[in-house]
Structure 1
Amino acid sequence: MADDSSTTILATFKTREAADLAVEHLVQQYGISRPDIFIQSATDRNTAGTQPSGGDASHEQGARSDAPLEGEIEVSADIASNQIAAVQRSLGDAGAIRISSR
């Protein structure tokens, strides 16, 4: 009998760029629908991450100060239980600093 149970996987990232890359991996490699993937601050603060990257990296005038670089970003999705190990590796490759499931 096939195991069709699902697990919620949570991954925490230091930058929005890394979180976005992780979402692309979930969609393209594992066929998870974008509306089933959630991105939010890992705390109660509004944030773009804890480190500058992409559009918030240094510019000619110096690092941008309008992005709240104060907290980590969490990506979560429900995945098939038989995908846990592969998805964890993929999230790690995308830059996750913590990965858990529930």
Structure 2
Amino acid sequence: MSDDSTTTIRATFKTREAADLAIEHLVQQHGISRPDIFVQPVASENSTGSAPSGGDVRRDGDVRTDAPLGGEIEVSADIASQKIAAVQRSFGNLDAIRVSGR
């Protein structure tokens, strides 16, 4: 008999770039549908993360000052229980700060 239960898994990332990669891994490697994935700032205000990355960093190394670096980004999704370990590994490979499931 297979286990049909699902678990909400959450991971926190320092950058929007890492959060975006986590979403792509959930979709492409783990077969999670995009509408089942949620992204939000951890703090109450909008944020692109707590560290500059991607488009926030210019070629010369200067950092944009208009991007709201106010806190981490949380990615969450309901996943099949048998995928928990694989998803946790993916998040860990992407330098997740925290990973939790409930």
Give the TM-score of the pair, scaled to structure 2.
0.95
Distance 1:101 1:79 in 2: 10
After TM superposition, the runs of 4+ consecutive aligned structure 1 residues lying more than 2 A away are 58-62
Read off the aligned partner of 2:43 and give its amino acid letter.
T
Identity %: 69
CA 62–10 in structure 1, closer or farther in 2 if over 3 Å, else same: same
Task: Please give the secondary structure, in 2, of the residue aligned with 1:23.
Answer: helix
Report the aligned-residue RMSD: 1.3
1:85 and 2:82 are equivalent in the alignment: no
Letter in 1 for 2:51: Q
Q: For 1:41 and 1:73, how far apart are their aligned partners in 2?
A: 5
Q: Which runs of 5+ in 1 are unaligned?
A: none
* Distance verdict in 2 for CA 1:31–1:61, change over 3 Å: closer
Number of residue pairs aligned between Structure 1 and Structure 2: 102
Unaligned runs of 5+ in 2: none
Q: How does the TM-score come out when normalised to structure 1? A: 0.95
- What are the residue-to-residue correspondences of 1:1-102 with 2, within 5 Å? 1-60=1-60, 62-102=62-102
Q: How far 1:60 moved relative to its partner? A: 4.3
- Partners of 2:42 and 2:61 in 1: CA distance: 30
